[in-house]
Chains A and B, each alone.
Chain A
Amino acid sequence: MSSRRSGSTPRITDEQIIELVSKLQQLLPELRNRRSNKASASKVLQETCNYVRSLHKEVDDLSDRLSQLLSTIDDDSPQASIIRSLIN
């Protein structure tokens, strides 16, 4: 973020953005253990992208497994309803 004057109303400050980035960093498994100041915003964003991608992959994988599981059980069973609820 370039430091530009925010104008009259300080709606969003750079500080807020930095805080948001640190919050995001805390959610990342890789950067969580590091001190917040260690990771730059770009690294945080990069890690976020990678993490979201991996989460998507995991969700797909879990969905596949749940689908397979669903096929093995009776559709009337409560388990089936649970599995269906989990599969998006």
Chain B
Amino acid sequence: MNHCVPDFETDDDYFFSASANSKRHKKSAMGDEDIMELLWQNGQVVVQSQNQRSAGNKKSETMPSTAGREIRSGVIDEETTPSNLFMQEDEMVSWLHYPSDDNSLDLYLHNNDIPYPVLPSSSSAPATTLPSSLPPPPPPLVTVPPTRPPIPPLNRVDEEPSQPKFANFLHFSRSNKRGLAGSGPSSSKQMSQAITQSTVVESNIGCRGSMSSFGGAGTSSAGTGREPETCDVSASSSPGTGGSGASASVEPSSHKPPPATDDRKRKGRDTDDTECYSEDLEFEYHDPKKKSRGSASSTKRSRAAEVHNLSERSDKASMLDEAIEYLKSLQMQVQMMSMGYNMVPMMFPGVQRYMPTMPAMGMGMGMGMGMGMDHIGMNRGMVPYPSVLPGPQMPNSAAAHMGQRFPVPRFQMAQVPIMGPGTGEAANPSDPMMNSFPTQNANQPRVPFLDPYQQCLGLPQTQLAQQQQQQQNQTGMAAVTSKPSSSKDVRYPQRHPTG
């Protein structure tokens, strides 16, 4: 029997080629007058001429997955599948039903904007193009139009575990567009299983290359076709998650008929979507794995599942990490904004002493921020003091904010000297900045500021400021917010008699 491998270029080549080139390619072009029919048999697509329909040759044909992935429409590769193609009667009969609807099939294909039409157009001799009656080669087999009860092909898929591969995948992807849900949950489940199998096989086969090519071709050719998107998603996905991505993207669509979800799933959101839906997919994986027909593909499937799990787990962990970081940054941002919102009103002349006047120092910033926020916290109870004080914990954003704040204190410092003469506290040797600060701060300006501030904050704040001020003096910390001023003010009266 001749096996003809129709040589038609389609975006679906990927699907076809992956699983069994031969089968798809069996465009019944073998004999001009001999109409070849592609049938699924035991996981193999068997091409058999109609005349040989009853021939019981069952030769499992090896599906050279890596063999020519392309289906050339016009060229018949008889060498691609040396094995004979067989055809089972029942399958043949069921399969025949589809060809009967060639027109609808064509319509379907065209509606789907699938590159399939390319086949007929590009195919030359093989009379078995889509328009032809029976043979619409792989496409019909692969993509049993969902309009027709896809059950026959699906049944076949179930029967042949190893076979479905891309064919089912393709069918699945096509059906998605048509609302696979309509075909029924059972069929979708089957298809999903098939898809997973196919995706697993895909990943194993390393179809990624083909997928990318497919994706490229798909996008170029299909405008609204979903396959291209699916392929793109797969192609864009990392190799490890390629299969899972494809399956994930495909799976959810099958489970969620609404096209919106499909778009969401398919729209190139590879990792995110796969992560989201990998959970569902995992369960799907489980079933196929368990039900795997125990063929060699099960090993591949388990391996792919492992890879999928690994990538998924790492995705989960990375997602959790990201969530934690984002949550922290968001909390810090809210803290900064609230603090700024509270501090700015106090920055106006008269209350400027409250602002830190020290240059940005690592600890200083922390201290400043801590103090500021501490004040705010005490004022409003929004910020817990201990949690805010440590400077190193502040994120870079906070540091940036602090950095931006520093010019302000300097500005205020510039103003300070103008406001009043040195108070005699310049002799503070502990810190040069502190020296400048006392000199610049006049008693009068500070007192008015401090008093209302102290009144607002209450006594504890003053005491705290004192403590912090003392700490700062001792440690020589430069960046201090209102502590120095407040403490100095507090101390000022004490020093006054002395100073």
Show the binding face of A for B, using Cβ within 8 Å.
1-2, 4-7, 9, 11-14, 16-17, 20-21, 23-24, 27-28, 48, 51-52, 55-56, 58-59, 62-63, 65-66, 69, 73, 77-79, 81-83, 85-88
A24 touches B326 (CB 8 A): no
Give the one of B313, B333, B340, B408 with max A CB within 10 A: B313
B interface residue count range (under 10 / 10 to 19 / 20 to 34 / 35 or more): 35 or more
Alpha-carbon separation in the docked complex, A20 to B314 (Å): 12
Q: Which of B72-80, B106-114, B342-350 contacts A (4 or more CB under 8 A)?
A: B342-350
As a 0/1 sequence over residues 298 to 309 of chain B, the CB contacts with chain A under 8 angstroms (1 = contact) are 000000011101
A4 touches B309 (CB 8 A): yes
A65 touches B341 (CB 8 A): yes
A7 touches B306 (CB 8 A): yes
B412: chain A residues within 8 A (beta carbon):
78
Q: Name the one of A11, A24, A27, A66 contacting B341, with C-beta atoms under 8 angstroms.
A: A66
Using CB atoms, name the residue of chain A closest to B403. Answer: A85
B305: chain A residues within 8 A (beta carbon):
4
Alpha-carbon separation in the docked complex, A78 to B406 (Å): 10
Alpha-carbon separation in the docked complex, A4 to B310 (Å): 9
Nearest Cβ on chain A to B401's Cβ, whole angstroms: 6
Nearest Cβ on chain A to B395's Cβ, whole angstroms: 13
A20: chain B residues within 8 A (beta carbon):
317, 320-321, 324
Interface CB pairs A-B, < 8 A, 14? A2-B286, A2-B309, A4-B282, A5-B309, A6-B309, A17-B317, A24-B323, A24-B327, A55-B330, A55-B331, A62-B341, A69-B344, A73-B348, A82-B404
> Given A62-B334, A86-B401, 9 other A-B contacts at CB below 8 A?
A11-B314, A13-B313, A17-B313, A24-B320, A51-B327, A52-B327, A55-B327, A81-B404, A86-B337
Alpha-carbon separation in the docked complex, A3 to B312 (Å): 12
A21: chain B residues within 8 A (beta carbon):
320
B323: chain A residues within 8 A (beta carbon):
24, 48
Asked if B328 is at the interface of the complex by the 8 Å CB criterion, the answer is yes
Asked if B390 is at the interface of the complex by the 8 Å CB criterion, the answer is no
A83 touches B344 (CB 8 A): yes
Q: Name the one of A1, A11, A73, A81 contacting B408, with C-beta atoms under 8 angstroms.
A: A81
A48 touches B327 (CB 8 A): yes
B306: chain A residues within 8 A (beta carbon):
4-7
Q: Binding site of A, secondary structure by majority: helix, strand, loop or mixed?
A: helix
Q: Name the one of A17, A69, A81 contacting B345, with C-beta atoms under 8 angstroms.
A: A69
A82 touches B340 (CB 8 A): yes
Q: Please name the 9 residue pairs, one residue from A and one from B, whose CB atoms are nearest each other, closest first.
A: A78-B408, A20-B320, A62-B337, A85-B404, A4-B309, A12-B313, A86-B340, A7-B306, A55-B330
As a 0/1 sequence over residues 398 to 412 of chain B, the CB contacts with chain A under 8 angstroms (1 = contact) are 001100110110011
Q: Binding site of B, secondary structure by majority: helix, strand, loop or mixed?
A: helix
Alpha-carbon separation in the docked complex, A14 to B344 (Å): 47
Nearest Cβ on chain B to A73's Cβ, whole angstroms: 8
Nearest Cβ on chain B to A37's Cβ, whole angstroms: 17
A27 touches B316 (CB 8 A): no
Show the binding face of B for A, using Cβ within 8 Å.
282-283, 286, 305-307, 309-310, 313-314, 316-317, 320-321, 323-324, 326-328, 330-331, 333-334, 336-338, 340-341, 343-345, 347-348, 400-401, 404-405, 407-408, 411-412
Alpha-carbon separation in the docked complex, A50 to B314 (Å): 24
A48: chain B residues within 8 A (beta carbon):
323, 327
Nearest Cβ on chain B to A42's Cβ, whole angstroms: 11
Alpha-carbon separation in the docked complex, A8 to B347 (Å): 60
B347 touches A79 (CB 8 A): yes
A73: chain B residues within 8 A (beta carbon):
344, 348
B340 touches A66 (CB 8 A): yes
A82 touches B405 (CB 8 A): yes
B330 touches A52 (CB 8 A): yes
Alpha-carbon separation in the docked complex, A66 to B408 (Å): 17
B404: chain A residues within 8 A (beta carbon):
81-82, 85
B340 touches A58 (CB 8 A): no
Q: Name the one of A7, A59, A87 contacting B307, with C-beta atoms under 8 angstroms.
A: A7
Q: Name the one of A7, A9, A63, A77 contacting B337, with C-beta atoms under 8 angstroms.
A: A63
Alpha-carbon separation in the docked complex, A4 to B342 (Å): 51
A66: chain B residues within 8 A (beta carbon):
337, 340-341, 344
A52 touches B326 (CB 8 A): yes
Alpha-carbon separation in the docked complex, A11 to B309 (Å): 11
A55: chain B residues within 8 A (beta carbon):
327, 330-331, 334
Using CB atoms, name the residue of chain A closest to B407. Answer: A78
A85 touches B401 (CB 8 A): yes
Using CB atoms, name the residue of chain A closest to B347. Answer: A79
A28: chain B residues within 8 A (beta carbon):
327
A88: chain B residues within 8 A (beta carbon):
333
B408 touches A16 (CB 8 A): no
Q: Name the one of A6, A59, A62 contacting B310, with C-beta atoms under 8 angstroms.
A: A6
Q: Name the one of B330, B336, B341 contacting A69, with C-beta atoms under 8 angstroms.
A: B341
User: Known: A7-B307, A16-B317, A55-B334. Is A82-B408 also a contact (CB below 8 A)?
Assistant: yes
A2: chain B residues within 8 A (beta carbon):
282-283, 286, 309
Nearest Cβ on chain B to A55's Cβ, whole angstroms: 5
B321: chain A residues within 8 A (beta carbon):
20
